[in-house]
A and B are shown apart, each in its own frame.
Chain A
Amino acid sequence: MKKVLVIVLTALLTLSIAAVHAEGTEFKEAPMLAEKVAAGELPPVEERLPKPEDVFVVTNLKNGDMLDIGTYGGTLTKAVTKVGNWELCRSTTLERPVDFDTTGAPFNNVLKSIESNEDMTEWTMHLREGMRWSDGEPFTADDITFWYYMLHKNNYDGLAYWAALFQVIDGEEVWAEVEKIDDYTVKWTFAQPQFRSNFVDTGDLKWFWAPKHFWEDKVPSSYYMENPIWPDTGLSDEEVMAKFMEIGMELDSVKACGKSGYYFWNHPQMPTISAYITMNEKNDPLVKMVRNPYYWKVDAAGNQLPYIDEMDFLIVNNSDQAILMLESNDSDVDYIVANIKDVIAIEDAMGDGVERHELTSTYWGDGQLYFNLTNKNLEMRDLVNNKSFRIALSIGVDRDQVVNLWYDGLTEPANAAPEYPNFGYNEEWALRYTEYDPESAKKLLAEDCGLVMGSDGWFHFPGSGDKVSLSVVCGKTDAATAEKYAVLKQYWDAIGIEMNLNQADNYNTICDSNEGWDAAWGENEVSGYKIESRPKQFIPLNLAATWYSFYDTRGSAYNPEFFDLDGDLLKLYEVYQEWLQIPELTDRDEKELEMMQILIDNTWFLAYSTTPSEYYMVRSGIGNWPESMLNEDKFNFQMQFGFNTLYFK
């Protein structure tokens, strides 16, 4: 009897093990990882991936193309110019909680699912069971709650607050609360209903970067804020800095320690859930990113992504050197910004060896000009608020020549309006006030604006007799920008208005202070796939210095010292508030078009050309590279090309 029991038990056991194995053998891994597993350095792939039903299976690229099943191996090299924080990771590996495809439709990414209750005051996020950080520790609800209370809400991370997580009620900021339901579920509770479009779909829920097991001994007591879940760590500032020293990060203050985590990809010491792990510091001459063995995505055949073993970034001094490296086969990829000549040069030099992929732009025209509507100089304020003045500056410029000089005729003359084929494109909007008619421009200035043409060839104000001379501020200080501007200036000189370019690094400070700028060119331009990505650039309230930080102050307060919103600006603001109140993102289109119409009717912004696209020049033989995409912040700019799905054919 006992013997039979043992046999049956053994059989059952074997069957169950076989069952587990059968499930597990679905997944395959890269050879370099398989070696490590065989050597005992890594757990087998089934244990590294989340539970089979929670694994993210990538079937399509973000633009809808089917994903080719790729082969493992290879190193992708890219030459990048000396960088700030974004170049490396933004191009490669950021993983958002909820991500978007190129139509703007959201899909769950890091989160397995997210749902709300009836009245949308509670949102529940489900995580993927078995998902791990790059050092093997599980990614659990603790990571999210710890991050929220110990790093973000208490501002230890030193960042602007994620607009998705608080609401403005009666002018007060009210923060959401989060609680852990179980290891893989968290629930957010808001005071008032939080629309999905404001919580999830705007892209403000950025990315999770703070593993609890890493940060729990790195939050000082000085930053502690009362919260229902986590107690005070009791650590002093010096102890925290010592901890950072231990892992090899020398920082000069505890504040810097807190801030270091957001750009986690700059620090090899920090665990990550991205497809690639950085191996050394940014701005080392060679930066390597190696595949993450715990990456939680597979393709339709069960291969653990990513395909490419390693990404190398070589730091060069300028874009020209990057092009040379591509042409001499030292690198595989180059990203060209606003220089079509380089694209052509590369194609001519490499022929079939290179492919071109376009990122079309979402800007409302190139070379945008806008004015300080709250100028302290009253005569100037009246002038720039007069629509005829803006029209005159628009029709006084020969856009055909401009387009040819700037871009060799490869773009079109246009005014500030959504470009084809983006949402809101309207040919009539794009071409209004684009005819070249300097005589009418002068007439408008003389008659509608009441300016007086002086004997020196410039217009003067009727009251004070001063020459009309605008200081146009621009943040780019390079010579190419000055040359580009000079092309426009000759036309404005010809109609008698002096517009001097002031290239200043600190143009933001100048604009904020409302001193010393009459107009701004080529900065803070209106752009965006749709308004939800960056309202600030869409609602041109940076026209008025008081509203410059509109998006940052969440529209909750503005400085009435300068002036109250009135007329169409007030109407625009009101429609925007209505827009915010519509629950479903897709239902907001009508209001959005209404806002666009107000912008177009008022011609607050001028532009002179459509925007040239940016290009990825890629060596042939790299698979799964989408043909073209939209260059847009919400889609994470270049990252949407999906470095984690590329492979060498």
Chain B
Amino acid sequence: MAKNNQSKEAYYVASQWQLMGRKLKQHKLARISMVILGILYFFALFGNFIAPYGTIEFDSIYKDSSPTKIHLYHEGEKVGPFVYKLSKISDKKTLRVTISEDTSEYYPVHFFTHGEPYKVLGFIPCDLHLFGVGEGSSGGKGARIYLFGGDSLGRDIFSRIFLGSQISLTIPFVAAAISLFLGVLLGAVSGYFGGRVDFIIQRLIEVISAVPQIPLWLALSAAIPAGISTIQIYFYMTIILSFINWTGMARTVRGKFLSLKNEDFIMAAQLSGVSTWNIIWTHMVPGFLSYLIVSVTRSIPSSIIGETSMSYLGLGIKPPATSWGVMLQETSSVTNIVSHPNKLIPIIFVTVTVLAFNFFGDGLRDAADPYK
């Protein structure tokens, strides 16, 4: 009885955020999505560790290879997980290339091996990888473990997915953050001050919304100067993506502001001499912050698809960096996919991420809804 009373008490004094959190946990799909997203981002953070190879390790033998088979038995006896090296024969007359496994020696799979060096978080040098393939049983070299197969230049698709996720998963966040900032700022100004200011900003929003998205992206990305570093391209892309998305948020914020503006407590604040900016930030914004967060979360999927589309068209990330969209470029040829269906794997990742964000956003929205 006391416990019941205690939890009821806790419920009544719980803050807005605690209430939201509790309701969110009850939403099954949102919980699963949170877990999935957590895993994906964890992998992105430790992508260099998980991926056995880098983004520009070319290997001509493993060009367009199918996923490497992991064997347990070599010539009848069990030697643990290992792979065979591939051998390739090119016939110049028939133009055929035959690839087969060279079963003369086996290459055991090791865990926590040393491989391509990288920097954790950008500055801690390290060269440890989760798994990899070292020397062969007879001292041979050159075998590789490509869990998802190789792409058209012989790079490991598995590695590129995890390394690419570092870009594909973070660009939408940064873009969403910028959109949020711009949207709140302009929406607040527009809603609070009204009149002329409101009018101009509204027209601006209308214009930007009416211009079809993809051409705007195209035109803007064609304007990205050539030959600049990956980091710079990254920032240009986030700006371009956020540039389109902020309009929706600004409209919502403005709507909320217009309705809140006439509330009594605002008038009270004004009469007490609270400064305009204080009113906006301390009194009005928290009122619909939860709603905003939901908006942001739900805008991330469109940014993901946007970045994927731009990179697919070749307008975004350039080598040596990679993202899921860049990897999808290879799928644009039907004949390519029919012979190498493993190249479609990045789609699964994109889809799962978008779905997870969608469900999570739905869960958040349900949690933030005070009427449920």
A408, B60: Cβ atoms closer than 8 Å: yes
The distance in angstroms between the C-alpha atoms of A403 and B90, with both chains bound, is 11
The distance in angstroms between the C-alpha atoms of A500 and B56, with both chains bound, is 15
The distance in angstroms between the C-alpha atoms of A487 and B226, with both chains bound, is 19
B226, A504: Cβ atoms closer than 8 Å: yes
Chain A CB within 8 A of B347 CB: no
Chain A CB within 8 A of B227 CB: yes
Chain A CB within 8 A of B261 CB: no
The distance in angstroms between the C-alpha atoms of A483 and B319, with both chains bound, is 7
B58, A405: Cβ atoms closer than 8 Å: yes
Interface residues in A397-435 by Cβ distance below 8 A to B read 401, 403-405, 408-410
Binds A, one of B164-172, B206-214, B301-309, B331-339: B331-339
Query: Taking the nearest CB of chain B, how far is it from the CB of A258, in angstroms?
Result: 32
A479, B326: Cβ atoms closer than 8 Å: yes
Chain B CB within 8 A of A513 CB: no
Give B332's nearest chain A residue, CB to CB: A320
Query: Taking the nearest CB of chain B, how far is it from the CB of A266, in angstroms?
Result: 28
Q: Do A405 and B60 form a contact, CB below 8 Å, given A320-B334, A324-B334, A345-B339? A: yes
A482, B60: Cβ atoms closer than 8 Å: no
Question: Contact string, B230-258, partner A, CB cutoff 8 A, digits 1/0?
Answer: 00000000000000000000000000000
Query: Taking the nearest CB of chain B, how far is it from the CB of A401, in angstroms?
Result: 6
Chain B CB within 8 A of A323 CB: yes
Query: Taking the nearest CB of chain A, how far is it from the CB of B91, in angstroms?
Result: 8
A502, B226: Cβ atoms closer than 8 Å: yes
Query: Taking the nearest CB of chain B, how far is it from the CB of A444, in angstroms?
Result: 25
Q: Do A404 and B95 form a contact, CB below 8 Å, given A318-B332, A324-B334, A479-B329? A: no
The distance in angstroms between the C-alpha atoms of A487 and B318, with both chains bound, is 14
Interface residues in A483-512 by Cβ distance below 8 A to B read 483, 486-487, 490, 500-504
Query: Taking the nearest CB of chain A, how far is it from the CB of B166, in angstroms?
Result: 19
Chain A CB within 8 A of B61 CB: yes
Chain B CB within 8 A of A101 CB: no
Query: Taking the nearest CB of chain B, how far is it from the CB of A633, in angstroms?
Result: 25
Chain B CB within 8 A of A340 CB: yes
Could you say which of A342, A344, A482, A501 contacts B96, with CB atoms under 8 Å apart?
A344
Interface residues in B49-88 by Cβ distance below 8 A to A read 56, 58, 60-61, 63-64, 88
Chain B CB within 8 A of A478 CB: yes
A344, B95: Cβ atoms closer than 8 Å: yes
Give A404's nearest chain B residue, CB to CB: B60
Q: Do A479 and B314 form a contact, CB below 8 Å, given A345-B335, A408-B63, A409-B97? A: yes
Contacting residues, chain A, for B320 (C-beta < 8 A): 486
Query: Taking the nearest CB of chain B, how far is it from the CB of A499, in angstroms?
Result: 11
Dominant SS at the B interface?
loop
B314, A478: Cβ atoms closer than 8 Å: yes
Give B333's nearest chain A residue, CB to CB: A320
Question: Contact string, B20-60, partner A, CB cutoff 8 A, digits 1/0?
Answer: 00000000000000000000000000000000000010101
B60, A342: Cβ atoms closer than 8 Å: no
Question: Contact string, B186-225, partner A, CB cutoff 8 A, digits 1/0?
Answer: 0000000000000000000000000000000000000000
Contacting residues, chain B, for A343 (C-beta < 8 A): 95
Chain B CB within 10 Å, residue with most, of A324, A344, A404, A500? A404
Question: Contact string, B148-181, partner A, CB cutoff 8 A, digits 1/0?
Answer: 0000111000000000000000000000000000
Query: Taking the nearest CB of chain B, how far is it from the CB of A610, in angstroms?
Result: 11
Interface residues in A304-343 by Cβ distance below 8 A to B read 318, 320, 323-324, 340-343
Chain B CB within 8 A of A260 CB: no
Query: Taking the nearest CB of chain A, how far is it from the CB of B134, in angstroms?
Result: 21
Contacting residues, chain B, for A479 (C-beta < 8 A): 314, 318-319, 326, 329
Query: Taking the nearest CB of chain A, how far is it from the CB of B142, in angstroms?
Result: 12
Chain A CB within 8 A of B92 CB: yes
Query: Taking the nearest CB of chain B, how far is it from the CB of A167, in angstroms?
Result: 42
The distance in angstroms between the C-alpha atoms of A341 and B335, with both chains bound, is 9
Contacting residues, chain B, for A504 (C-beta < 8 A): 226
Query: Taking the nearest CB of chain A, how far is it from the CB of B2, in angstroms?
Result: 67
Chain A CB within 10 Å, residue with most, of B60, B152, B332? B60
Contacting residues, chain B, for A620 (C-beta < 8 A): none
The distance in angstroms between the C-alpha atoms of A440 and B184, with both chains bound, is 60
Contacting residues, chain B, for A597 (C-beta < 8 A): none
Chain B CB within 8 A of A192 CB: no
Q: Do A405 and B97 form a contact, CB below 8 Å, given A471-B227, A479-B329? A: no
Contacting residues, chain B, for A404 (C-beta < 8 A): 60-61, 63, 88
Contacting residues, chain A, for B227 (C-beta < 8 A): 471, 500-502
B95, A482: Cβ atoms closer than 8 Å: no
Query: Taking the nearest CB of chain A, how far is it from the CB of B159, in angstroms?
Result: 15
Question: Contact string, B324-349, partner A, CB cutoff 8 A, digits 1/0?
Answer: 00100100111110010000000000
The distance in angstroms between the C-alpha atoms of A503 and B153, with both chains bound, is 20
Contacting residues, chain A, for B60 (C-beta < 8 A): 401, 403-405, 408-409
Contacting residues, chain B, for A341 (C-beta < 8 A): 64, 335-336
B335, A410: Cβ atoms closer than 8 Å: no
Contacting residues, chain B, for A403 (C-beta < 8 A): 60
A405, B63: Cβ atoms closer than 8 Å: yes
The distance in angstroms between the C-alpha atoms of A458 and B367, with both chains bound, is 55
B335, A323: Cβ atoms closer than 8 Å: yes
Contacting residues, chain A, for B326 (C-beta < 8 A): 479
A490, B56: Cβ atoms closer than 8 Å: yes
Give A356's nearest chain B residue, CB to CB: B95
The distance in angstroms between the C-alpha atoms of A500 and B226, with both chains bound, is 10
The distance in angstroms between the C-alpha atoms of A486 and B56, with both chains bound, is 8
The distance in angstroms between the C-alpha atoms of A404 and B90, with both chains bound, is 9
B153, A483: Cβ atoms closer than 8 Å: yes
Interface residues in A449-501 by Cβ distance below 8 A to B read 471, 477-479, 482-483, 486-487, 490, 500-501
The distance in angstroms between the C-alpha atoms of A479 and B152, with both chains bound, is 12
Give A412's nearest chain B residue, CB to CB: B92
The distance in angstroms between the C-alpha atoms of A375 and B60, with both chains bound, is 36
The distance in angstroms between the C-alpha atoms of A471 and B227, with both chains bound, is 8
18 residue pairs bridging A and B, Cβ less than 8 Å apart: A320-B335, A324-B334, A341-B64, A341-B336, A343-B95, A345-B339, A401-B58, A408-B90, A410-B92, A479-B319, A479-B329, A482-B318, A483-B153, A487-B58, A500-B227, A502-B227, A503-B226, A504-B226
Known: A320-B336, A345-B335, A404-B63. 13 other contacts (CB 8 A): A320-B333, A320-B334, A341-B64, A404-B61, A408-B88, A410-B92, A477-B314, A478-B314, A482-B319, A483-B319, A486-B319, A487-B153, A490-B58
> What residues of chain A have their CB less than 8 Å away from a CB belonging to chain B?
318, 320, 323-324, 340-345, 401, 403-405, 408-410, 471, 477-479, 482-483, 486-487, 490, 500-504
> What residues of chain B have their CB less than 8 Å away from a CB belonging to chain A?
56, 58, 60-61, 63-64, 88, 90, 92, 95-97, 152-154, 226-227, 314, 318-320, 326, 329, 332-336, 339
- Top 7 A-B pairs, shortest CB-CB distance: A404-B60, A409-B90, A479-B314, A502-B227, A320-B333, A345-B335, A405-B60
